[in-house]
Amino acid sequence: MSKTKSPRTVSVSQGIAQDTAFGAVTPPVYLSSTYTFEDFGRARQHEYSRTSNPTRDQLAETLASLEGGVLGIVTASGMSALDLALSILQPHDLLLAPHDCYGGSYRLIQGRAERGHFRTLFVDQNNRTALREAFALRPRLVLVETPSNPLMRVVDIAAVASMAKKADAKLAVDNTFLSPALQNPLRLGADFVIHSTTKYLNGHSDVVGGALVTADRADGEELAAWASLTGITGSPFDAYLTLRGLRTLFPRIEAQQRSATAIADLLVAHPAVQKVFYPGLARDPGHAIASSQQKGFGAMLSFEANLGEAGRRTFISSLKLFTLAESLGGVESLIAHPATMTHLGMGPAARATAGISDSLLRLSVGLEETQDLIDDLSEALDAGLAHER
């Protein structure tokens, strides 16, 4: 093909019909930890799987292509991909981190800063004054998570990228909530994209994995070498499963997003709901920026229930299709209560600063029939309300 393939085609056709040994249509998985040398002093393309592996490299290349980057590194988890980005920091360096981010990211950053590995400042990245003041402190690395977990706050990637360029800082964007199907931070000026491939990229809740894609080759080679040294690279079998999940990324997230839009409308209208956080809603504060920098609003949303503790319990136990569990981005619908689950370890003070209340609930909308999901939520909300009365 002379023209470059569209991302949708790349996600489906990666590795297909390229096997030279047997003509296998689906690429095989290479589990071997080590590879023969062709001759004394003459290594082949792969020597040892911690450093490089055909299956994992295929996933890395596909993700780099989907994100419009130069080099991809596949890691054992989203956390290790974030930690790899943090490895560029030295003790005197400053990291600008978002004040509301994935709970695990918050704890990792906090823990490393407490051990003196770098300095950190958590800022509300939608507060222009706070952001300007933070950039005046000359950060070395800026981490953006947009839309943020769990409040779906949208950060203007291009605006932060231009501030980062001027300050000579690197910008890393956690793109887990949208996947490359709906947002490409590198095209908006970011230096690194971070993924928990556990979520939409694998999409079937049977792998924990991560990836980091760089815009620059030298950055990528340095980080790839570090990932190999620290041994955080992902397993080939996980890469194989993730490649399989990735083939259906676009149709999955598009269908999930359609249901999420309908669910957001239901929640806005329901008396048991106080507030809905979904950038797809026209009056959501992130709607304008999301419309310009995203290709869709995704399938994650949060809401504050108008229910006390007892009503909330009744609501959650009445749900039949939404399962109470952490994680997101799978084919099945999930519900989480951030204050007692994903964001418990953040502590009450940091949760209050981030605006994560005890009544906040987060939904990951799956691939079930839209009307079934709507019926499930509205019946359970009614049950929750009835309990309050």
Ligand X SMILES: *Cc1c(COP(=O)(O)O)cnc(C)c1O
- Number of residues engaging ligand X in binding (CB under 6 A): 16
**Contact region for ligand X (CB under 6 A) — 13-21, 38-46, 196-204, 379-387?**
196-204
Which amino acid makes up residue 23?
G
Which residue, 214, 78, 97, is CA-closest to 146? 97
Q: Which of 14, 58, 149, 235 binds ligand X (CB under 6 A)?
A: 149
Q: Which of 11, 49, 105, 125 binds ligand X (CB under 6 A)?
A: 105
Pair of tokens at residue 221:
């080679």
Residue 145 interacts with ligand X (CB under 6 A): yes or no: yes
Q: How far is the CB of 148 from ligand X (least distance, A)?
A: 8
Q: Which of 8, 35, 50, 313 is catalytic?
A: 50
Residue 104 interacts with ligand X (CB under 6 A): yes or no: yes
Q: Is 320 a catalytic residue?
A: no
Residue 77 interacts with ligand X (CB under 6 A): yes or no: yes
Q: Is 174 a catalytic residue?
A: yes
Residues ≥6 apart with Cβ < 8 Å to 241? 202, 204, 206, 207
Q: Is 50 a catalytic residue?
A: yes
Residue 364 interacts with ligand X (CB under 6 A): yes or no: no
Residues ≥6 apart with Cβ < 8 Å to 375? none
Q: How far apart are CA 266 and CA 280, in angstroms?
A: 13
Q: How far apart are CA 338 and CA 33, in angstroms?
A: 39
Q: How far apart are CA 298 and CA 140, in angstroms?
A: 30
Residue 208 interacts with ligand X (CB under 6 A): yes or no: yes
Going by the DSSP 8-state scheme, the letter that residue 39 receives in this structure is: B
| Beta carbon nearer to ligand X, 152 or 380 | 152
Q: Which of 63, 79, 241, 260 binds ligand X (CB under 6 A)?
A: 79
Q: How far is the CB of 354 from ligand X (least distance, A)?
A: 14
**Contact region for ligand X (CB under 6 A) — 97-105, 263-271, 275-283, 284-292?**
97-105
Q: Is 295 a catalytic residue?
A: no
Q: How far apart are CA 73 and CA 190, in angstroms?
A: 16
Which amino acid makes up residue 264?
A
Listed in order, strand segments (DSSP E) in 65-140 are 71-75, 94-98, 119-123
Q: What mask of x and - would describe binding to ligand X in positions 1 to 30, judged by CB under 6 A?
A: ------------------------------
Listed in order, strand segments (DSSP E) in the chain are 71-75, 94-98, 119-123, 141-145, 170-174, 192-196, 210-214, 273-277, 300-305, 323-324, 334-336, 360-364
Residue 279 interacts with ligand X (CB under 6 A): yes or no: no
Q: Which of residues 165-194 bind ligand X (CB under 6 A)?
A: 174, 176-177
**Contact region for ligand X (CB under 6 A) — 99-107, 316-324, 333-341, 379-387?**
99-107
Pair of tokens at residue 282:
């026209």
Residue 245 interacts with ligand X (CB under 6 A): yes or no: no
Q: Which of 57, 83, 156, 174 is catalytic?
A: 174
SS3 at position 92: coil
> Which residues are at the interface with ligand X (CB under 6 A)?
77-79, 102, 104-105, 145, 149, 174, 176-177, 196, 198-199, 208, 210
- Tell me the catalytic residues: 50, 102, 174, 199
